[in-house]
Structure 1
Amino acid sequence: MTGVAVPPVAPPRLRPLAVVGAVAAFALIGVQQALYGPAIPALREVHQISAATAGAALSVHFAGAIAGVLALPLARRLGVPDGLFLAGSLALIAAGCVAFVFAPAWPAALVAVFVAGVGFGGVDGGVNQVFTEVYADGGHGMLNLLHGCFGVGAIAGPVAVGVLAGRAPAGYAAAFAGCALIALVALPMLRGVAGTGRSARAERPEPAERARGSSWRRAGLVGATGYAFIAFFVLNVGLETGAGGWETTHLIAIGLTAPAAASATSGFWLAFTAVRFAVVPLCRRYQARTIVIASTVLTVVAGVATLLDPLAPLAYGLLGVAVGPLYPTGLAWLAQVRPQLTSTVVAVSMVGGIWGPSAIGLAVEAYGAGAVAWAMVTLAVAGLATVVAIDRARR
C-alpha cells in the first residue's frame, strides 16, 4: 500500500526587520502592562472612581489578553498568516490605548482596556509561538533576549508615568499615547513574518510500525507531560507576580523602611530582567532543560533564604535571578516536547498572575506578612516538583 504524499508546509520565517519588530513589540507590551498600576491615582482623579474600581483595569486587561492568546490557534486554522495576525494585534493595542485616553467615562475606558488587552495577548502569544518554532532547536537564547526586552519595557513604563503624571493629573495619557505610536511603528515590521507556523516536520506522518508500538504511550505519557508543563508555567508566573507584588510588604514588616523596601523590590525586577540578557551566551552551551532545572533549584534556595530576616532583601534579588530565565527557557523546552501547546500555556499561565498575588494576600491577612516568605518557598518547591515530573515523564 502506497503512502499518501503530504505537501510540505513552510515553517514560519523571520526576516531581520521582523525580528526587530518582534523585539520592539515585546518591549511595548512590557510598557503597556506596567502602566495601569502607576496610573491609578490619576485615573481616580480624572474619572472620580475608587481605588478598587480603578484597579479593575488590570483584571480587564488580563481578560482581554487571554482572549488574544487563544485567538492565535483559531486564526491559524482559518489560514490567517502570522504576520497579518500580529499586525492586527498591534493595531488593537494602538486603538485601545488611544480610546482609553479619550474615553468619556469609566465603562468606556474599560472597553478600551479590553481591546488593548486582546492586542496584548495576540502579540504575547503570537510572537512567543513564532519564536519557539523558528528557534526551537537551541534557540532559547533568542527567547531570553525577547523576554528581557519585555522586562525593559516593564521597568520603563512606571518611570514614564511617574515623570509625565508629575506634570499634570492626566499625564498618564501621554504614556498610553506613546504605546499607540510604538505599536503603529512596529506594525509594518511584523507584517514581514511569513508562514502559518505549521512546520513540515510537525506535519510528517509517523511510520506505521512506530505508531503501533507507541500510541498508548503517547496517549498517557505525553498528556501527563503537557499538564505538568501547564502547572509549571502557572506556578512560575504566580511566583514571579507574588514576589514582585508582596516583597515590599514583607520587607517593611521585618524592619526595613518603606523606601528601602521599595528599592529592594526594584532590585528584584532589575535582576529578573538583567539575567535574561546574561543567560543568552549560556544558551549556546546548555540545553533549555538544563537551564530550567538549575534555575528552579535556585528558586528553592532563594525562597528558603527569604525566611531569614537578615538575608531577605538579598534573597529576593537572588529569586529574581532564578525566576528570570524560567518562562522564556521553559517555552523553548516546551517547543521541543509539545510545540502545539504553546498558545494554551501562554494563556493559562496568566491565571498564575491572577491567583498568585491574591492567594498570598489572603495568607497575609490570616497569618501576617511572614506568610509571604512561606509562599515563596511553597511555590518554588511546587515548581521544582513539576520540573521533576516533566523530566521523569520524558525519560
Structure 2
Amino acid sequence: MVLFGLLGLYQSTLGPLIPIIRDDNHLTGATAGLLVSGFFAGSLASTVAGGALPERWARTYLVVVPAALLLAGSAGLVVRGPWPLPLLAVVVAGLGFGGLVLVVNTAMASQPGQRGVTLANLVNGVFGLGAAAGPALVGLTRDVGYPYLFGVLAVAILLTLPNRHLGAVRPAEVAARSGRAPGLLPLFGALLFCYAGIETGLSSWETVHLEAHGYPPGTASALTSLFWLGLAASRLLVPLLTTRWPPARLIATTLTGMFGALVLIAVPNLAPAGYLLAGALAGPVFPTALAWHASTHPDPRRGNAVLLAAAMIGNVTAPAALGYTMQATSDLLLPALVAVPVLACLTITLVLRGRAGPGPTAR
C-alpha cells in the first residue's frame, strides 16, 4: 500500500512539472510534455521485461531492481540539470515504475472471485491518494524548487525495498485459471490502451488546460490534485458497490458518466469540479478491468504484463498526441479530445460483456 502510494505521487507530479521544465529550459509545451511520454516509455520496457522473466528471476529481482531504478530517477531530478537531463531521469524512473506496478497489481488482481476486484481497487485507491498529493506538492515547492520534493521522494522509495516477496506468483492460483475462456486478451488490452488516453491525458494536461481557462500557474498546479482525489475516493468506495455490480456494469456506468464530466471541464468556472468528477468516474475502470481479466486468464503475471504494456503504450502516445493537437489548435480543446478514448472504452466494454460475461460477483 505504501509503495503504491509513492508510485501515485511520482506519476502525478509529471503533468504539473511540464510548465516548470518548459520555463526553465525555454521549451515549447509539447516538447516539455515529452517528460510524460519518456516516463511511460521506460515503464513500458520494464513491464514487458517483467512479464517475460522466468519465475525464479521474477521472485528474486522484480521488486528490488525496479525500486532501485525509481530511486535513481528521483535522485536525477534532484540535480535540476538542463534539458534533456530531466527527460533522462524520468525515463530511468519509468523503468522502475513499470516493474513495480506489474507486481503489485498482479498480487491484488489475481485473488479469486470478488476479492480480486476489491483488492485491486483498494490498492489503486491508495495510488490515487498519493497522486492527489503530487500536484499540490509541486505547487507548494514551485518557488523553492521541485528538487526538494524529489529528494524526499527518493528517500521514501528507499524505505519500500524490503517488499521483495511481491514478485512471487503462487502456482496454485495459475492452475486454478487454466480452464477459463481464451481469446479475450486483445480486447482487454485495447480497453486499457484507450483508458490511458483518459487518465494520462487529463492528468498530464490539466494544468495547461486550467491555465488556458485563466487560472494562475500555481493555482492550476494545485487544482490538479482534484482529479487524483476523485480517482482515489472512487476506488476506495468501489468495494461497497461491487457486491452487487459485476465489473462490466461498473465500468460501463462510470464511462457513460464521463461525458458529463467533460462538459463541466469545458466551462471555466466549473472546470475544477469537472476534473474532480472525471477522476471519480475514471477511477474504477483500470483496477476493475485487471481483476475482470484475471478471472479469464491462466497466468496472472504474464497476462497482466500484456495489459499493462498496452496501457503504457497508451500512456506514451496519448500525452504526446494530445499535446501536439492542442498546440496546433487550442489548449481549450482538451475535453473534446478526451471524449474520443472515452467512447472507445465504452464500446470495447460492451463487446467484452458479450464475449466474457459481466465478470465475477460476490462469493
Same-fold call, TM cutoff 0.5: yes
Residue in structure 1 matching 2:66, options 72, 80, 89: 89
The answer to whether the aligner puts 1:179 opposite 2:138 as a matched pair is: no
* Alpha-carbon distance in 2 for matches of 1:112, 1:248: 22
Equivalence for 2:137 = 160
The answer to whether the aligner puts 1:130 opposite 2:104 as a matched pair is: no
Residue in structure 1 matching 2:124, options 113, 128, 147: 147
Q: Which amino acid aligns with 1:241?
A: T
Q: Could you tell me whether the CA contact under 8 Å between 1:64 and 1:118 is conserved in 2?
A: yes
TM, length-normalised to structure 2: 0.81
The answer to whether the aligner puts 1:352 opposite 2:314 as a matched pair is: yes
Q: Could you tell me whether the CA contact under 8 Å between 1:143 and 1:332 is conserved in 2?
A: yes
Query: RMSD of the alignment, in Å?
Result: 3.5
| Offset of residue 134 of structure 1 | 3.2
5+ residue gaps, structure 1, are 1-22, 207-213
Query: SS at 1:186's partner residue?
Result: coil
The answer to whether the aligner puts 1:199 opposite 2:161 as a matched pair is: no
Query: SS at 2:195's partner residue?
Result: helix
* Alpha-carbon distance in 1 for matches of 2:19, 2:88: 20
| Offset of residue 354 of structure 1 | 3.2
* Alpha-carbon distance in 2 for matches of 1:366, 1:234: 24
* Alpha-carbon distance in 1 for matches of 2:80, 2:332: 41
Equivalence for 1:50 = 26
Query: SS at 1:258's partner residue?
Result: coil
The answer to whether the aligner puts 1:267 opposite 2:226 as a matched pair is: yes
Q: Could you tell me whether the CA contact under 8 Å between 2:15 and 2:205 is conserved in 1?
A: no
| Offset of residue 235 of structure 1 | 1.3
Equivalence for 1:61 = 39
Q: Could you tell me whether the CA contact under 8 Å between 2:135 and 2:223 is conserved in 1?
A: no
Q: Deviations over 1:173-219 (max 9, x none)?
A: 2222222211221111x12437334435537866xxxxxxx9xxx6x
Q: 1:141 to 1:372 in 2, by over 3 A?
A: same
* Alpha-carbon distance in 1 for matches of 2:206, 2:89: 31
Q: Which of these two proteins has the greater Rg computed from alpha carbons?
A: 1
Q: 1:288 to 1:155 in 2, by over 3 A?
A: same
* Alpha-carbon distance in 2 for matches of 1:172, 1:303: 30
Q: 1:83 to 1:301 in 2, by over 3 A?
A: farther
* Alpha-carbon distance in 2 for matches of 1:358, 1:57: 10
Query: SS at 2:25's partner residue?
Result: coil
Equivalence for 1:258 = 215
Aligned length: 350
Identity level (%): 32
Q: Which amino acid aligns with 1:333?
A: W
* Alpha-carbon distance in 1 for matches of 2:47, 2:284: 21
Q: Which moved more, 1:261-270 or 1:226-235?
A: 261-270
| Offset of residue 118 of structure 1 | 0.8
Query: SS at 2:62's partner residue?
Result: helix
